[in-house]
Structure 1
Amino acid sequence: MLALRVLQRSLLIGGALLSVAFALGGCSSQFADMAPTDAQAHPREPGSYLPVHDLPPDRDQAIIPPEQRAKIEAELAAARDRQAVAGKDAK
């Protein structure tokens, strides 16, 4: 009985020491070494914002043709209606 308690205590202490070693080992790496070599440098002016209102030049053209857009919207509406009916039946 005493040997079992000693074994449990030594396993508990060993596990605690192992977890502390892993935790401290994770803090030893340098974050600067993990950055990729082609990483973009930080801007020098901290208050500058990205130009979010500038649109690309080809933005005037429709990405999806109107006929295909109408077809997709009809399919989504039909799927929504089917799910609404299935939800009511499940309750």
Structure 2
Amino acid sequence: MLALRDLQKWRRICGALLMATLALGGCSSQLADMTPSDAQAHPREAGSYLPVHDLPPDRDQAVMPPDQRAKIEAELAAARDRQAVATKDAK
């Protein structure tokens, strides 16, 4: 059998654990209040993803006219050739 001292010791330990549990439980209910006021709200549907395959309606149109594109490509090719000549001369 348990002695009287052991029983009192056991009750004190259980009481301390109960008090700690209640104290910690009271703190956890206030954690939701600690979020910043400008935080974004969570989506209502947990498994919703953004539509990946939906393209904008004007995606079929050319971004720039073909003549402007040809001009830019010619300028880039000329710059590449000048850089190749400058690199060859530097060696």
TM-score by length of 1: 0.48
User: Which structure has the larger Rg?
Assistant: 2
Larger % of helix: which? 1
